């Protein structure tokens, strides 16, 4: 299947394309289309799952569900508990937007000052028309939220800072390098099915064993998040490449 489009909205389509690659598959949390049966199965297996709209963005509509002695879900800053799966499922049906969803194995993300964080790796076609990992940034969630998105009160910070309590000096740089390389591999893989792609932004969650997990691949990634860093070097490059790729062009006056 070869498709000329520059972007793909459906998280389900993007996940299935990633799963075609046996090396990259290892980094994808188990994902299914949301249904009562799939939710029950995934909760029994993983104990913590994320439910997210197939066509969502900005962390909107994302729900975390947990099973311990009780069933619990959190959406935004609201959390609710239930004694039975039926109770949980009925409440979720009310809380969910009227759209299709995925249910995904939940990753226990690393934390910074008790707030979860994940990372965004920006990979772009460069002027030589080859893929380059041009940007990387960490995103810390609001203390009472379960998503890290900047448009959902998340705070973008240098990844070096956030990884600082887990890795030091050379190990830390090597680790960041490996995340960038993972982003690069993902871009070249997508290119086979989607030769029109010019930029991707990979959301990578890191678990307590420092294993990276691909939470989402964005095909129209926001360059401006990098403008949140004090050091503007990355931002300038990301924006320069985005413009060379035909995005965010200034409107010319006559
Ligand atoms: N499987 C998961 N495990 C842990 N956290 C997740 C998972 N999926 C999503 N998240 C959190 O929710 C955020 C939003 O989810 P994402 O799939 O990126 O959708 P969106 O398009 O809304 O950004 C992620 O950046 C991450 O913080
Ligand atoms: Mg995202």
- Other CB atoms within a 10 A radius of the CB of residue 175 amount to 17
Residue nearest to atom 13 of ligand 1 (CA): 147
The model's confidence at residue 30, banded by pLDDT at 50, 70 and 90, is very high
Average pLDDT, integer, range 225-247: 97
Does pLDDT of 151 surpass 80? Answer: yes
pLDDT of residue 221: 97
DSSP state at residue 113 = T
Spacing, Cα 45 to ligand 2 middle (Å): 24
pTM here? 0.97
Which residues place a Cβ less than 5 A from the ion ligand 2?
203, 216
Across the chain, mean pLDDT equals: 96
Which residues approach ligand 1 with their CB closer than 6 A?
Answer: 29, 50, 52, 56-60, 62, 104-107, 109, 118, 147-149, 203, 205, 215-216
Q: Is 25 helix (H, G, I), strand (E, B) or coil?
A: helix
pLDDT of residue 146: 98
Spacing, Cα 186 to ligand 2 middle (Å): 15
pLDDT of residue 186: 98
- 8 Å CB contact between 62 and 56: yes
- 8 Å CB contact between 108 and 208: yes
Structure tokens at 53: 């709209």
- 8 Å CB contact between 71 and 81: yes
Spacing, Cα 144 to ligand 2 middle (Å): 18
pLDDT, tens digit, for every residue of 94-139? 998 889 999 999 999 999 999 999 999 999 999 999 999 999 999 9
Does pLDDT of 163 surpass 70? Answer: yes
pLDDT, tens digit, for every residue of 175-211? 999 999 999 999 999 999 999 999 999 999 999 999 9
What is the rounded CA–CA span in Å between residue 237 and residue 227? 11
- Domains, the chain, ranges and CATH? 11-28+109-244 (3.30.470.20), 31-105 (3.30.1490)
Q: Is 20 helix (H, G, I), strand (E, B) or coil?
A: coil
- In ligand 1, the atom with minimum distance to the C-alpha of 105 is 1
Decide the pairing of beta strands 111-112 and 101-105: unpaired
């Amino acid at each position: 299947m070869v498709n000329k489009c520059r972007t793909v909205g459906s998280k389900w389509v993007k996940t299935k394309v990633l799963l075609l690659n046996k090396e990259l598959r290892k980094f994808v949390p188990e994902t299914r289309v949301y249904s009562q049966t799939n939710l029950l199965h995934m909760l029994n297996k993983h104990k913590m799952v994320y439910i997210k709209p197939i066509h969502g963005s900005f962390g909107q509509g994302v729900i975390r569900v947990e099973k311990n002695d009780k069933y619990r879900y959190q959406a935004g800053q609201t959390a609710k508990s239930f004694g039975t799966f039926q109770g949980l499922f009925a409440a979720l049906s009310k809380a969910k937007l009227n759209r299709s969803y995925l249910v995904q194995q939940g990753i226990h993300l690393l934390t910074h000052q008790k707030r979860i964080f994940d990372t965004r790796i920006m990979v772009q076609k460069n002027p030589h028309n080859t893929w380059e990992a041009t940007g990387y940034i960490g995103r810390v969630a609001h203390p009472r939220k379960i998503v890290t998105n900047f448009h959902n009160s998340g705070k973008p910070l240098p990844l070096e800072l956030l990884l600082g309590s887990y890795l030091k000096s050379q190990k830390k740089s090597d680790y960041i390098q490996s995340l960038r390389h993972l982003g690069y591999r993902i871009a070249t893989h997508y290119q086979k099915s989607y030769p029109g792609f010019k930029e991707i932004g990979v959301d990578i969650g890191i678990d307590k064993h420092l294993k990276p997990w691909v939470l989402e691949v964005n095909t129209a990634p926001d360059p401006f998040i990098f403008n949140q860093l004090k050091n503007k070097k990355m931002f300038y490059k990301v924006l320069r490449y985005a413009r060379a790729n035909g995005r965010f062009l200034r409107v010319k006056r006559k």
